[in-house]
Amino acid sequence: MPFVNISLRAGQPPAYRQAICEAVYQAMRETFNVPEDDAFMTVTGHEACDFRYGRSYLNVMRSDELVFIQITANATRSKEQKKALYQSLARRLGASPGVRPEDVFVNLIEVAPENWSLGHGLAQYATT
């Protein structure tokens, strides 16, 4: 049950933003075994003055087309699955909508399963 927040510079058309969502969803399905219809995402466009980043931090040359992808997910995935997710995201976003691999910035936040309530005031993933 990942929850995804996507941040980018303002001004991208709806089709571009939806292509990002679809690429993220498909990458999570491919690498994190996310079930069908488990797609919970927000996309936020920021004005240039509200979108700051290191242009060359760690020798990665980023542009103003940078996309921040923050994924909150259960702490159940292996290091290999995480690496596969990052690779899949870069590949899929490159294919559509054409984001350069240097402009795919991913932050994974892992939480305990009981930290979710998906409605009705219940902790659906809590085991006890």
Q: Where are the beta strands (DSSP E) in 10-115?
A: 41-46, 67-74, 104-111
Residue 19: CB atoms within 10 Å: 19
Q: What amino acid positions are annotated as catalytic residues?
A: 2
Q: Is 103 exposed, middle or buried (CB count within 10 Å of its CB: 0-12, 13-18, 19+)?
A: buried
With contact defined as beta carbons under 8 Å apart, do 112 and 74 qualify? yes
Q: In this structure, which amino acid lies at residue 41?
A: M
- Sheet containing 3-9, strands listed edge to edge, beginning at the edge strand earlier in sequence: 41-46, 3-9, 67-74, 104-111
